Amino acid sequence: MNRQLTIPVERFRLDGVEAEQTQDGLLLTVPADGGKMILGGMPMHLGGVDWTGMTHLVFDLTALGDMDEAFALVFMTAAAQDGPMCIVNAGILPRVRVQWPVALSLLDSQTMFIPRTPGRLKEMILGRGIRPEEAQAMILSFKKAAQPRRVLLHGITLTEGEPEITLSGSPIVDELGQANFKTWPGKTESEAAMAEMLRAERAAAGNAAFEGRSRFGGDLSVRWEGTGYFRTHFDGKRWYLADPDGYRFVSAGLDCCIPGDASYVEGIECLLSEIPDREKFAPAFEMTERNERFAGLYVNHSITNLIRVFGSEWKQAWMEITKARLIRWQFNTVGNWSDPEFIRWARLPYVWPLADFPTTKTTVFRDFPDVFSEEYEANAEVFAQQLAPLKDDECMVGYFLRNEPEWAFVQGLIIADKVLENPADTCCKQRMIAFLREKYGDIAALNAAWGTSYAGFEDLRQPQPPVSSFGEAAKADARAFSAVLIRRYSAVPSRACRKVDSHHLNLGMRFAMLLDPILLEGHENFDVFSLNGYDADIRPSVQKAGELTGKPIMIGEFHFGAPDAGMLAAAICSVATQEDRGRAYRAYYESASDSPFFVGAHYFSLNDQCVLGRFDGENCQIGMVDVCHRPYGIFTEEVTRVNREVYRIADGLRSDPAPEVRRIPRMMGF
């Protein structure tokens, strides 16, 4: 049994949270605006408890509402306003007693996404990181929500070694994969009702094709030179894509055209009303082992529902229904992470996400490789070969090199700092020392500029504190070399891909956010610069990226979700109702199209996520369809109208006045 210590909850200072001691623990009432529990003290003695030798902090909680509960656990130093802090964002399922363990080793922020534990949803580590012995305060922050809620805090402990995690609760998911304790308009009441809907839709699918558009979904009223492949085109006023026949093309895409998300149920099987028969529903269990980080038991209720209706023909039926829906909804692009068999069969324009971005055995920080190593170049050559089977496909719009680099999530990160902080003698470190030697000539000149006392340039091989904090000259040098690193990061795989496939568009890396203009370095290697845009108004980000790069801009992901349906979380961009989702979709497209750099956006995603969470714990109401493949009619109707008008919108013909959208606080469990 691992040694455990209890942190007395009475030593927390409450800010905006009301507390009442009950037999089962401390009952917390949290207002809609959120609140905090603050624990201070001396480093390694927060709350008056000796943390020495302890490895994990464990919260024992029950969220008593009908939606996920989201937290931010913040560890701060006295100088946190200058950057040294760690933020652990996480969420838990409702109506279930959950133990949430936080490994103190994660406070260095080297790891961003944490494998799930029973009942806990997605967990993300943000901030530049600190050492546990530096922490002078710990804050458990309850995030804003659409309404007040109650949380039962059973206790908080420290453990020496890996804690034993248990979960207790009754089933909250029915046999169709829906939340069993909620009702909402459009909930599927029976297998028979689901079967009737899906069979009728398959019968009506027919041989769907675009009407009034080019064979690729382009605008028949505007035509330029066709090259046989998708390309970019600037018409003197704004950027567009051109389809292989030369017609004007704005990419209205739908991500994750797959037969539903698989639900991670490892350790939480008790929350299912039944586990489907593994022999009868074998395709629904194909994700049982995903990868080392997210290995475990998965059940895809969307697939079990298709098998219930169509038997062995489930995949073909789904493809027929889905192609007809995409065309009916006026989507002209199959977005990222879509089913390869569906892409080959449907023959619609599509984008392709390249897998396994080249890395190196030793990384600089998180997933940033040793980009000046021969290993990086060799792995980039291997990486590029996955384009070989696709290089002549006219339906392929282009490829994304990767998605959301994890190193780029840290506010204020100067990647060159991490090169010198890292104890490894990387090729990047050797190149940075050469960069500084070339600039300053001798160590005395560098010492004078930086205010340091190095005996020689070789001293920089030893782990350094963030050199950008030494003064303006050191910060300028660190930023200058960071630009060199990021250009190299982009250039090596881009060149390798271009050698294999000279036909298709390089669509960039889908950065999650543009925290610093330096992230745009290397854009010259891309045909289109891409970002994932979860801002309600995306135009400023599109315009900024376009002006700084001179490139057309594509949005790889955006979405809106609402709590009025059956899921336990809304979305990154949350709105009040399904009607508001439609209004938000229109407002988003019209805002983006105000920028002359905008060439398309891809909605994330076709399906709702799973009630119990997918592999990483996301469980949002974001789909065009729910787990029973029933479309959210009010939402899809407005999406269809907007997609039908994308070329008019690009020409400046917008709705007037702008749609009014009732936005609510971000409602999701991380």
490 prior amide bond cis, ω within 30: no
How far is it, in rounded angstroms, from Cα 57 to Cα 51? 10
How far is it, in rounded angstroms, from Cα 200 to Cα 636? 18
How far is it, in rounded angstroms, from Cα 27 to Cα 666? 24
Burial (CB count <10 Å: 0-12, 13-18, 19+), residue 225: exposed
- Using CA atoms in the order 369, 374, 376, 380, what is the torsion angle rounded to 10 degrees? 170
59's enclosing H/E stretch is strand 56-63
Give the residue among 652, 647, 667 at the shortest CA–CA distance from 247: 647
- Residue indicated by tokens 């901030």: 127
Residue 14 lies in a domain: yes
How far is it, in rounded angstroms, from Cα 44 to Cα 135? 7
Residue 534 lies in a domain: no
Give the residue among 466, 451, 348 at the shortest CA–CA distance from 396: 348
Region 213-225: what's the mean pLDDT?
98
How far is it, in rounded angstroms, from Cα 80 to Cα 107? 14
Q: What are the tens digits of pLDDT across the range 436-482?
A: 999 999 999 999 999 999 999 999 999 999 999 999 999 999 999 99
CATH of the domain at 16: 2.60.120.430
Burial (CB count <10 Å: 0-12, 13-18, 19+), residue 208: middle
How far is it, in rounded angstroms, from Cα 376 to Cα 365? 15
What is the 8-class DSSP label of residue 460?
G
605 prior amide bond cis, ω within 30: yes
Q: What are the tens digits of pLDDT across the range 614-666?
A: 999 999 999 999 999 999 999 999 999 999 999 999 999 988 788 899 999 98
| pLDDT-derived band at 290, boundaries 50, 70, 90 | low
Q: What are the tens digits of pLDDT across the range 68-90?
A: 999 999 999 876 555 578 999 99
Give me the residues paired with residue 141 across strands: 36, 72
CB 140 within 8 A of CB 36: yes
Q: What is the CA radius of gyration of the chain?
A: 26
Q: What are the tens digits of pLDDT across the range 224-282?
A: 999 999 999 999 999 999 999 999 999 999 999 999 999 999 999 999 999 999 999 99
Q: Which of 74-78, 98-102, 267-271, 358-362 has the lowest mean pLDDT?
A: 74-78
Q: What is the pLDDT of residue 668?
A: 76
Give me the residues paired with residue 88 across strands: 73, 125
Q: Which of 126-140, 348-362, 378-392, 448-462 has the lowest mean pLDDT?
A: 126-140
Q: Which of 455, 476, 500 is the last residue of a domain?
A: 500
Identity of residue 600: G
Residue 312 lies in a domain: no
- Using CA atoms in the order 583, 589, 594, 599, what is the torsion angle rounded to 10 degrees? 180
Q: Which of 459, 482, 500 is the last residue of a domain?
A: 500
Number of helices (H), then strands (E), belonging to the chain: the values are 13, 30
Q: What is the pLDDT of residue 206?
A: 87
Residue 522 lies in a domain: no
- Token pair of 156 as six digits: 């908080």
CB 121 within 8 A of CB 115: no
| pLDDT-derived band at 346, boundaries 50, 70, 90 | very high
Q: Which of 126, 160, 194 is the last residue of a domain?
A: 160
Residue 381 lies in a domain: yes
How far is it, in rounded angstroms, from Cα 164 to Cα 188? 38
Q: How much is the mean pLDDT over the chain? A: 95
Q: Is residue 181 pLDDT above 90, yes or no?
A: yes
Q: What is the pLDDT of residue 1?
A: 59
| pLDDT-derived band at 53, boundaries 50, 70, 90 | very high
How far is it, in rounded angstroms, from Cα 345 to Cα 601? 23
| Per-position DSSP letters for 605-638, written without gaps between them | -SB---TT--TTS--B---SB-TT--B-HHHHHH
Q: What is the pLDDT of residue 629?
A: 98
Q: Going by C-beta distance under 8 Å and a sequence separation of 6 or more, which residues neighbour residue 462? A: 423
Residue 640 lies in a domain: no
How far is it, in rounded angstroms, from Cα 488 to Cα 506? 16
Lateral strand order in the sheet of 529-531: 505-506, 396-400, 350-353, 333-334, 251-254, 598-603, 553-558, 529-531
**Number of domains the chain contains:** 2
Instruction: Give the domain extent around 462.
Output: 363-500
Residue 67 lies in a domain: yes
Give the residue among 253, 227, 245, 267 at the shortest CA–CA distance from 119: 267
Share of the chain above pLDDT 90, in %: 91
Q: What are the tens digits of pLDDT across the range 560-578?
A: 999 999 999 999 999 999 9
Between helices 578-593 and 633-644, what is the axis angle to 10°?
A: 20
Residue 664 lies in a domain: no
- Token pair of 50 as six digits: 């000796």
381-to-259, 373, 500, 501 alpha-carbon distances in Å: 32, 13, 9, 12
* Coil vs helix vs strand at 437: helix
* Coil vs helix vs strand at 63: strand
How far is it, in rounded angstroms, from Cα 136 to Cα 46? 7
| pLDDT-derived band at 525, boundaries 50, 70, 90 | very high
- Token pair of 504 as six digits: 């298709």
Q: What is the pLDDT of residue 293?
A: 75
CA end-to-end span of the chain: 31
How far is it, in rounded angstroms, from Cα 100 to Cα 120? 6
